[in-house]
Structure 1
Amino acid sequence: MSRKEFDASRMRRMKRTAARYDLTILTAEKLKVLGQPGGHALRHDKTFKIVYGDVPKPFSASLDDIEKYLEKLEAGEA
């Protein structure tokens, strides 16, 4: 299994988890085009407010950060 397939399946799994809490994972595509790693953020679907990944700058969360946040949400800690 290639690294790309692993990240894609991981992202699909996290999107399903986020959807249970009315959240959407956003990815900064512009940064990827510029050759920099694209960051991520979590947005609440009903209010369109960014709930995670916008501090200290927009799209500052990594996939690992998003995954940890969702795990805390699942455990009832967030």
Structure 2
Amino acid sequence: MSRKEFDVSRMRRLKRYAARYGLTILTDDKMKVLGTSGGHAIRDESFKILYGNVPKPFSASLDEIEAWLEANTAPEE
């Protein structure tokens, strides 16, 4: 398994990608303290949550965040 496949590496790569479009990826650290992995959400420059807040806050997984970014930030042709 290469380092680029680790969750920490993926998160750094996704945060850099999101920043190009003025988006921020948030992680719920409180869930990590409880022993479960923290969920994620995406917000824009106006601090509005765009994805990851339904059905509850920070409900998106890292895979879901990656898929949402690919689908919603792809350059138009």
TM-score interval, normalised by the smaller of the two chains: 0.7 to 0.9
Residue equivalent to 2:57: 58
Runs of 4+ off more than 3 Å:
none
TM-score normalised according to structure 2 size: 0.85
Residue equivalent to 2:22: 22
Residue equivalent to 2:6: 6
Residue equivalent to 1:71: 70
The structure whose residues are more often helix, as a share, is 1
* Structure 2 letter corresponding to 1:69: W
Q: CA RMSD in A?
A: 2.0
Answer yes or no: is the 8 Å Cα contact 2:28–2:39 preserved in 1.
yes
What is the total number of aligned residue pairs between the two structures?
75
Structure 1 gap segments, 5+ residues each:
none
| Percent of pairs with identical residues | 71
TM-score normalised according to structure 1 size: 0.84
